């Protein structure tokens, strides 16, 4: 908790840590663990004061940014929609994020990436259409769309400078706005421009806007392993892209066929662990539940191995209850694991079980895992984080087998339609 973060108000939940002496006078650290609701005006006041502070004390900018960028809870809260939110608030909120990005230096990049990830997983931008009142019945203020256009474009460009891997996520947000909004011609020109920028960031090449929103174009650019926005959003089963299998008639196109089976396979692969993660995040993972056995705590790195199978990690863990590993189906070869250092899965690292030695499991609670291809972090970053936060990580196991699904997902995603031999049969 710092002087630069959101000021504490009545209703905030604050956690205090005492020094080793145990005296109440020796409180060494305090942090907010839950923010009470704030009005849009309260948050605008904070944004304004923060901007004034940065302008008035430029020599303190680096320390100030370091302190607020490490406040993951605040960035998630800023990304929510407060009571009284209107177009002015939405634009002011985006300008606050843009100003933080613009003031940050290269030393802040890792912190910026984490803060941006927390912000983008929150619902504010997904609810932009409702805030702007862009629909058939209502019209926003005359200049609201114009100012929002300019601001969201600047936000997208700033976010891409921080982390170009966020391009697919930003593209989905802008596409959602396009889908729900009734846009004038100048608005559509803006969307075309943004789509081109985001598509280029994803693919490294210019693209035709008519192909940007095509399912095939998006599928080729998508990361197979789910990002935070997918895990915390709607369930995979309720995804609008998940369509019933077509029987007795031809598919509209080869792209539709591949897209359908890509989403079916992704749902089969990740819906079970998404359910477990949601139960954990909501505090509903109870000892009597079947999914409780999928939880592993105090995870730490105890070894790094280079085998013919590639890089692998030896992880030590604790289980909430005793496990008979000889009879258990837990931690079987090929099972999918989700690992989180901060214990809320906003920083999910994907792993698969490479080997389970019954004797070592029984004696030391150690298992050999492989880092999945397609994580948001490099192998070096993952190892570094495990070494820094050893014993603090939490791990959840998917109750379904994953290893055989990944190569199929990858093949469908990367399929070249021009050379797809079965397209004449579809």
pLDDT digits (tens, 9 = 90+) for 307-363: 666 789 999 999 888 888 988 888 999 899 999 988 888 888 999 999 989 999 999
pLDDT for res 18? 59
**pLDDT at position 207:** 44
pLDDT score, position 396: 92
Per-residue pLDDT band at 367 (split at 50, 70, 90): very high
Q: Characterise 387 by phi-psi region: left (phi > 0), alpha (psi -120 to 50), beta (else).
A: alpha
The better pLDDT of the pair 42, 258 is held by 42
Beta bridge partners of 301: 315
Q: Averaging pLDDT over each range in 13-17, 98-102, 152-156, 291-295, which range is the top one?
A: 98-102
Residue bearing tokens 């990830």: 117
The pTM for the full model equals 0.52
Which three-class secondary structure string do you get for 38-89? CCHHHHHHHHHHHHHHHHHCHHHHHHHHHHHHCCHHHHHHHCCCCCCCCHHH
C-alpha to C-alpha distance for 297 and 283, rounded to whole angstroms: 15
Here the tokens at position 81 are 């929609």
> In this structure, are strands 393-401 and 366-371 parallel, antiparallel, or unpaired?
unpaired
Domains of the chain with bracketed CATH: 34-213 (1.25.40), 281-407 (2.40.30.270)
Cα dihedral sign, 54-59-62-63? negative
pLDDT for residue 30 is more than 50: yes
Among 139-148, 301-310, 337-346, 358-367, the range scoring the smallest mean pLDDT is 139-148
| Three-class DSSP category at 138 | coil
DSSP state of 326: T
User: What is the average pLDDT across 12-39?
Assistant: 69
Question: pLDDT of 108-129, one tens digit each?
Answer: 888 888 888 888 877 887 777 7
Share of the chain above pLDDT 70, in %: 73
**Residue 354: left if φ>0, alpha if ψ -120 to 50, beta else—which one?**
alpha
Alpha helices in 223-253 (DSSP H): 228-232
Mean pLDDT, rounded, for 184-210: 57
């Amino acid at each position: 908790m710092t002087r630069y973060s959101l000021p504490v108000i009545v209703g905030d939940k604050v956690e205090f840590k005492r020094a080793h002496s145990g005296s109440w006078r020796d409180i060494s650290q305090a942090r907010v663990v839950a923010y009470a609701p704030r009005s849009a005006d309260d948050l605008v006041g904070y944004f304004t004061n923060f901007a004034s502070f940065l302008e008035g004390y430029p020599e303190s900018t680096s320390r100030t940014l370091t302190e607020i960028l490490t406040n993951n809870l605040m960035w998630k809260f800023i990304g929510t929609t407060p009571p009284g939110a209107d177009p002015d608030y939405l634009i002011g909120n985006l300008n606050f994020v843009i100003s933080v990005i613009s003031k940050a230096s290269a030393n802040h990049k890792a912190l910026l990436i984490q803060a941006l990830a927390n912000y983008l997983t929150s619902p504010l931008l997904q609810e932009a259409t409702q805030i702007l009142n862009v629909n058939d019945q209502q019209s926003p203020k005359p200049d609201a769309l114009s100012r929002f256009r300019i601001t969201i474009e600047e936000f997208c460009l700033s976010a891409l400078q921080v982390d170009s891997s966020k391009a697919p996520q930003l593209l989905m947000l802008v596409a959602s706005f396009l889908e729900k909004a009734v846009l004038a011609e100048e608005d559509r020109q803006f969307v075309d421009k943004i789509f081109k920028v985001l598509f280029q960031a994803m693919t490294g090449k210019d693209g035709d806007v008519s192909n940007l929103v095509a399912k095939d174009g998006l599928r080729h650019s998508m990361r197979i392993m789910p990002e935070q926005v997918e895990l915390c959003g709607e369930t995979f089963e309720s995804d609008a892209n998940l369509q019933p299998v077509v029987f007795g008639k031809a598919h509209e196109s080869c792209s539709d066929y591949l897209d359908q089976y890509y989403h079916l396979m992704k749902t089969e692969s990740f819906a079970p662990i998404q359910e477990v993660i949601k139960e954990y995040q909501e505090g509903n993972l109870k000892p009597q539940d079947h999914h409780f056995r999928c939880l592993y705590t105090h995870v730490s790195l105890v070894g790094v191995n280079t085998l013919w199978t590639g890089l692998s990690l030896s992880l030590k863990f604790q289980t909430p209850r005793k496990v008979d590993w000889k009879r258990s189906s837990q931690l079987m070869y090929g099972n999918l694991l989700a690992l989180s250092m901060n214990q809320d899965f906003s920083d999910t690292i994907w792993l698969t079980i490479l080997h389970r030695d019954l004797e070592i499991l029984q004696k030391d609670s150690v298992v050999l895992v492989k880092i999945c291809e397609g994580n948001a972090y490099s192998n070096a970053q993952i190892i570094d984080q495990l070494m820094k936060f050893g014993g603090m990580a939490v791990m959840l196991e998917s109750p379904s087998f994953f290893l055989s699904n990944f190569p199929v997902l990858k093949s469908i995603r990367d399929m070249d339609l021009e050379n797809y031999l079965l397209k004449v049969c579809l």
